[in-house]
Structure 1
Amino acid sequence: MSNYQEAISFIKESFGTNDFIPLHVPHFGGNEKKYLADTIDTTFVSSVGAYVDQFEAMMASLTTTKKAVAVVNGTAGIQIALKLSGVKSGDEVLTQALTFVATANAIAYNNAHPVFIDVDLDTMGLSPKAVEAFLTEFGELRSDGCYNKKSGRRIAACVPMHTFGFPVHLDKLLEVCAQWNIPVIEDAAESLGSEYKGRQTGSFGQSGVFSFNGNKIVTCGGGGAIVTNDIKLGEKGKYLTTTAKIPHPYEYVHDELGYNYRMPNLNAALACAQLEQLDAFLQNKRVLAAEYKTFFESKGIHFRTETPDTKANYWLMCVELEDKKERDLFLKYTNESAVMTRPIWQLMFRLPMYRDCQKDSQEHALFLEERIVNIPSSVR
């Protein structure tokens, strides 16, 4: 308990306040007001406007990919990325149970079935070894793809999620999935600015998807982006997310089922202003992470840091407590003291809509579920 009280005092000192400290709030210190005023002055506030184009160009440049597509949120982005990869109704998608519900929901929106594979302890993200073990036991390669021998369904994609901005072991995961003819869609919603071996997350799979929700490192209130090195795939994504409308001077021609997943120019303006500050945000958060690491390690509490060959964005920082009892005590004391902390998510197979999904042992996910707590992580 004394350690927890010291942690509360340290966090309040770090943020320079005795008032309530949220988990993560946006920081608006650049051209946000200027760009928003510009959208109003030009009247281009909807999904057509210069800032949408600028945002897509900035995202492609940041991730060193060939095409970026602005969308209304990250969940919609994953849904469309899966559709673009060929996921069809009744297919299965490998992913992790230790994730935010949007990952699994996006799979379900395609009428596909999530299959939950364990995570690695060091990254808290999808484990290549666990994926390989699952496919060795249940996978069957056929002429039209990989099938699950237990369910008889086609395994159409794999969606790793870079938990809290910590990149998964991408090299090995991509190698395993390639052997089984399974495309990889990166759920990079939490990892904008994170790097794996010098490359931005989101740029490794067939496509990657980012979120710009209000609690993300860069926000535009709501919003998302799909990035890919497959230009034709990206163009198809833009087409599908803009109601599948064929260009025409005045006629409304839609030749397949499309989605109204367009990002408004207002949101894109905000996103552009935020992206201009990303490097400063990342540096600011790395300083806070270093301070946290020094403090918590001096108290015998494990502060989660980036793995070798990676550079994390430290979006939501977290500590690992001894067990569930200690976790719950830490959550109780901090929240009662106006310091917002949150446990990691409930594992997806605990939720009623995913209770019957196939899963492996989940040994590491179960361990982390009982111990990981997020602590205040805002740019100061």
Structure 2
Amino acid sequence: MTQISTQTPVNPASLALLREAFTELRTTRKLRHREAAAELGVSEGEALAAFVGEHVVRLDANDAAQFAAIFETMPLLGEVMVLTRNDAVVHEKIGTFGKMSRNGPVGLTVGRAIDLRIFYAKWASAFAVSEAYDDGVRKSLQFFDAQGVAITKIYLRDASDYAAFDALVERHAAPVQQAGLTVEPAQPRAPQRDDAQIDVTGFRAAWAAMKDTHEFFDILRKFGVGRLQALRLADAAYAEPIALDAIDALLNDAASTQLPIMVFVGNPGMIQIHTGPVQTIRTMGPWLNVLDADFNLHLRTNLVAHAWVVRKPTSDGIVTSVELFDAAGENITMLFGARKPGQAELEDWRAAVARLARVERVADGASA
């Protein structure tokens, strides 16, 4: 199919063509929004924005404070489904928002079901959507980055407060409802330093001295080391590669024992977390799925290029994670045993990780 340019978002002819082609793909081939947009050579945000003035309302937000003002009203909606994804995995949680807080452009909500770390500085556009399906109209709030890539989506459910949704849209609708969206090109990734340029001795000493898992990010910055590179250079006691299909075994192990786990999935604008047991694990083609009543996970296993067990010292003892990366070295997802600060890690989680298949680790400086 011909790709469509929307570089001039106010061009009515281009937008009409995009709407027609996008609708055709959605109806005839049953493609999801993201897939249909990719087929047309545009971002999902561009495709959605083409329908502003029809079933899409542009929300009035241009900076972190304005996006936060909108998002911090989510508790008013009652029960919703929150969807956060990256290229390789989709994370869906059903529940209600708890108390929300913010420190500058970084937001936080921690609840029994909805648990998010929010990075508003990466947000660039927001829309309210009321889209007709065979089973009725689905209402959602959708947030995108400067490239038109979805950061997070909030879908209403039967138990949601639809009046609160309508009031939110009316209160935050942009004064000018013009269709189209101009996106920015993605910034090139900063080149990774060669292993020989890294102070490996100092890096390993800093890792061993950690008292909190959050110190890890500061250590990466201090020593100028990439996350996947850090795992290769770490002492073998703290990081070891595992089989790429280990996540399948781990989820099925957790399901069979009802082991409570934490599943982190994120993108530059959001991290979404599930805490609790998992029950129903299904494989469908390349997709490994968790299909539970209040939590769904959909992982493209053919995009997993690296898998590691990672151990970080803390004041509560060692904290162990299983981390997956794509071919570009971007983190796909992280799994932990369920725990709260001040608590030691679950021994059952450590035992489950110990049962995973290891792969031979190569010498420092080479790719694992």
TM range (shorter): under 0.3
Asked which structure has the greater RCO (Cα within 8 Å, sep 6+), the reply is 1
Q: Which has the higher helix share?
A: 1
> Structure 1 length as normaliser, TM-score?
0.27
